[in-house]
Amino acid sequence: MGRRKGASRGRKLRPAQATPAALNPCAQTPFVHGLTPKRRGEISELAFALAAARHGFGVSKPFGDSERYDLILDPSQINPPQPHARPRLIRVQVKSSAQMVNGFYYLKASRQVNGRAVTYKLSEIDFIAAYVIPEDSWFIFPLPHILGLGSLLLSPKARRRQALYDGYRDAWHFLSEPDGIEFA
């Protein structure tokens, strides 16, 4: 009577039967540690598509990997276009980071061409969406605000002092601005 039905003494429990282990924030999950950068990027793109859809954007994926942007957003559900105006589509490049450098998350905001870092141009993308994996948080950067920067240091949520890019954390409103960007 002391044993559960179907459980025997020498048998190991399957993952679905085992009780979950306590969460360790320092533990490396397979998402952070065990995947190739390409696979991690693909999963980050899916996470961004879900988050954008939850914020009311239409989401499209370009065919193939030839474009500089990963996803296309349609904000017309949030801000309907004026009559006789063409709908505005937003080109988004998704980046992700789990690497800490001096207490900040390091984000490579460039691409590789022949082994060299090349920054994005205004003619290629409109926004960079940066996913901080361990914190499950997003930074939304209009490209003109970070034009020419090859890398960024993003602060953790727990940081008490204001950091340079904190204003871009969960800044989904930038994507629904009439021009897609807001200049300070």
- Top pLDDT among 91 and 19 is at 91
pLDDT tens for each residue of 124-177: 999 999 999 999 999 999 999 999 999 999 999 888 888 899 999 999 999 887
State the first-to-last Cα distance of the chain, in angstroms, to the nearest integer.
70
pLDDT tens for each residue of 82-132: 666 666 889 999 999 999 999 999 999 999 899 999 999 999 999 999 999
Give the burial class of 151: count Cβ atoms within 10 A of its Cβ; 0-12 exposed, 13-18 middle, 19 or more buried.
Answer: middle
pLDDT value of position 184:
40
Whole-angstrom distance, CA of residue 40 vs CA of residue 182: 30
pLDDT value of position 25:
42
- Top pLDDT among 115 and 29 is at 115
State the CATH number of the domain containing residue 56.
3.40.1350.10
Q: Which residues pair with 151 in a beta bridge?
A: 108
Whole-angstrom distance, CA of residue 4 vs CA of residue 17: 11
Q: Is residue 23 part of a domain?
A: no
Q: Is residue 17 part of a domain?
A: no
Q: Is residue 42 part of a domain?
A: yes
pLDDT value of position 183:
40
Look at the block and give the residue holding tokens 């952070």. 32
Does residue 39 register a pLDDT over 80?
yes
Q: Is residue 40 part of a domain?
A: yes
Task: Give SS3 for 130.
Answer: strand
Question: Which run of H or of E encompasses 59?
Answer: strand 58-60
Q: Is residue 172 part of a domain?
A: yes
pLDDT value of position 170:
94
pTM: 0.76
Q: Is residue 22 part of a domain?
A: no
Q: How many CA atoms lie within 13 A of 110 on its CB side?
A: 14
Which of 137, 133, 136, 128 is closest to 166 using CA atoms?
Answer: 137
Q: Is residue 9 part of a domain?
A: no
Whole-angstrom distance, CA of residue 69 vs CA of residue 48: 13
Q: Determine the Cα angle at 12 with ends 9 and 13, to 5°.
A: 110
pLDDT tens for each residue of 40-87: 889 999 999 999 999 999 999 999 888 899 999 998 777 766 666 666
Give the range of the structural domain holding residue 68, as residue numbers without chain letter: 30-176
Question: What is the tally of structural domains in the chain?
Answer: 1
Q: Is residue 43 part of a domain?
A: yes
Does residue 36 register a pLDDT over 90?
no
- Top pLDDT among 16 and 156 is at 156
Contact 99, 106 (CB under 8 A): yes
How sure is the predictor about 9, in pLDDT bands with cuts at 50, 70 and 90? low
